[in-house]
Amino acid sequence: DTAVSQTPKYLVTQMGNDKSIKCEQNLGHDTMYWYKQDSKKFLKIMFSYNNKELIINETVPNRFSPKSPDKAHLNLHINSLELGDSAVYFCASSQGPTSSYEQYFGPGTRLTVT
């Protein structure tokens, strides 16, 4: 009965490749997020979707493109991977987009670019 799931859990790839990470939530939540946690453990939001609509788009390279086919799924595609993209990427979801809704995180995808 996993609430927020991500695939793959680990991803090792070479510079220049294109890769995708998938996220699914079965909580019935309307809002989903992508976060990046760097090697210093700093967790920073990248994108947020509410009912398939992009509502947060932080300053990230346009090599990163999120897509939400429905409100239970949020994918992240990364083009032309760079060494600096190595990090753990977390998907999260919340019931709604406004201030009091708590966010629940997936298990993370550890991306290593060589």
For 91, counting Cβ atoms within 10 Å of its Cβ (0-12 exposed, 13-18 middle, 19+ buried), the class is: buried
CA 89 distance to own-chain centroid: 6
From 25, 50, 68, 93, residue interacting with another protein (rule: CB under 8 A): 50
Residues in contact with another protein, shown as a per-residue x/- string from 75 to 94 under the rule CB under 8 A: ---------------x----
First to last CA, the chain: 34
Q: Which stretch binds another protein (CB under 8 A): 11-19, 64-72, 79-87, 95-103?
A: 95-103
Q: Which of 24, 29, 48, 113 binds another protein (CB under 8 A)?
A: 48
Residue 81 near residue 18, CB atoms below 8 Å: yes
Chain residues that interact with another protein, rule: CB under 8 A: 31, 33, 40-45, 48, 50, 55-56, 90, 97-100, 102-108
